[in-house]
Amino acid sequence: MELTSKIYVAGHRGLVGSAIVRKLKEQGYNNIVVRTSKELDLRDKLQVDAFFEEQQPEFVFLAAAKVGGIVANNTYPADFIRDNLMIQTNVIDAAYRKGVKKLLFLGSTCIYPKFARQPMNEAALLTGELEPTNEPYAIAKIAGIKMCESYNRQYGTNYICAMPTNLYGPNDNFDLETSHVLPALIRKFHEAKLRNELYVEVWGTGAPKREFLYSDDLADAVIYLMNHYHGNQFVNVGVGKDISIKELAEKIQKVVGFEGEIKFNPSKPDGTPRKLVDVTKLNKLGWYATTSLEDGIERTYKWFLENGLETVKVANE
């Protein structure tokens, strides 16, 4: 990409898309195109086709998606598979027909089998059953990978795919019904601190292990891949190490300053026992994550506070 290349970031208001826009601007790219979901409904093929015809972007970061944690995936499975299939199909196909030079599709490590060997290598895709709680979302993302691979094979396009591990950072979703574990815990501990509660309940046993990547690190990685990687196989993006949910909760408790206890609820689902990605391929390409989990949590909590979320309603108000 040249600094003046026309770059479309789909999903620029989300956790991933906003980080990509920030990082692009930081690196001097000055011809970035964005649209809100109200301005452009990516589920609508006619709208997507008209946008690509009018704007003629040269490069596309496809970060737009319907995302959520265990609760959201369990509650809205039809929405997750339908909306994600529609979004990625419309954008990938329009990019081909309008001559986009290169597209990067962002997936998720939930594409891997529930009991995949750890750390999860790219070759593990489709070698076992998926985690049931997010299967519709995972299937949509696998379809996106295969669509990019198929367009490359049939049409000679230059589409690449990046599979990030669990993400967090500024512009994350802190809604307790639809968020992922890290932002949900930040809000839980913060509200408990405001209410002077004695404990915070955390779903599950605390034993599952997860890997967490700061969103600005992901943005740096995908821009790096856009400029340096050409290949039909997707690339894992992560930090290469994980921690238990119990350890994560304790780190967040410390950052927030909550002085009560942590109580785990084993009647609630744990989800996949472990999710650690093999980042050997990415590291060989020359990229490594640089933000520690502690620093990332502190930055995310600071963003949470600065955006007015410290005034969330507490009980009995």
pLDDT tens string 58-79: 999 999 998 877 777 888 899 9
Q: Per-residue pLDDT averaged across 111-133, rounded?
A: 93
Model confidence pLDDT, tens digit, residues 24-57? 999 999 999 999 999 999 999 999 999 999 999 9
Is residue 141 marked as binding? yes
Residue 145 has pLDDT above 80, yes or no: yes
Q: Is 109 annotated as a binding residue?
A: yes
pLDDT value, residue 100: 98
Task: Quick: pLDDT tens for 150-197.
Answer: 999 999 999 999 999 999 999 998 888 777 889 999 999 999 999 999
**pLDDT for res 12:** 95
pLDDT at 222: 98
pLDDT beyond 70 at 125:
yes
What pLDDT is attached to residue 72? Answer: 75
Q: Which amino acid is at 217?
A: D
pLDDT score of 315: 34
The answer to whether 15 is a known ligand-binding residue is yes
Give, in order, the Cα–Cα distances in Å from 31 to each of 2, 9, 271. Answer: 10, 11, 41
Contact status, residue 199 vs residue 262, Cβ threshold 8 Å: yes
Q: What single DSSP character describes residue 308?
A: T
Rounded distance, CA 54 to CA 165, Å?
34
Catalytic residue among 8, 137, 168, 301: 137
CA–CA separation, 139 vs 266, rounded Å? Answer: 28
- Residues written for the chain: 317
108 labelled as ligand-binding?
yes
pLDDT digits (tens, 9 = 90+) for 237-272: 999 999 999 999 999 999 999 999 999 999 998 877
3-state secondary structure of 106: strand
* 76 annotated active-site: no
User: Going by CATH, does the domain composed of 7-168+211-241+275-291 fall within 3.40.50.720?
Assistant: yes
The residues, any chain, with a CB within 8 Å of residue 65's CB and separated by 6 or more, are 11, 14, 83, 84, 87, 88, 106
Q: Confidence class of residue 308 from pLDDT cuts 50, 70 and 90? A: low
Write down the pLDDT at residue 173.
86
CATH classification for the domain delimited by 181-207+243-272+298-311, as one of 3.40.50.80, 3.40.1280.10, 3.10.129.10, 3.90.25.10: 3.90.25.10
What pLDDT, on the 0 to 100 scale, is given for residue 23? 98
3-state SS, residue 270: coil
Q: How confident is the model at residue 134 (pLDDT cuts 50, 70, 90)?
A: confident
pLDDT at residue 317 greater than cutoff 70: no
pLDDT at 309: 61
- Give me 147's structure tokens: 């669509």
Task: Select from 136, 260, 265 the least CA-distant residue to 196.
Answer: 260
Mean pLDDT of 85-108: 97
Residue 314 reports pLDDT greater than 50: no
pTM of the model: 0.91
Structure tokens at 209: 């292990």
Rounded Cα distance, 49 and 72, in Å:
30
117 is in an annotated binding site: no
Q: Parse the chain into domains and list their residue ranges.
A: 7-168+211-241+275-291, 181-207+243-272+298-311
Omega of the bond prior to 119 within 30 degrees of 0, cis?
A: yes
Q: Which of 38-52, 215-229, 298-312 has the lowest mean pLDDT?
A: 298-312
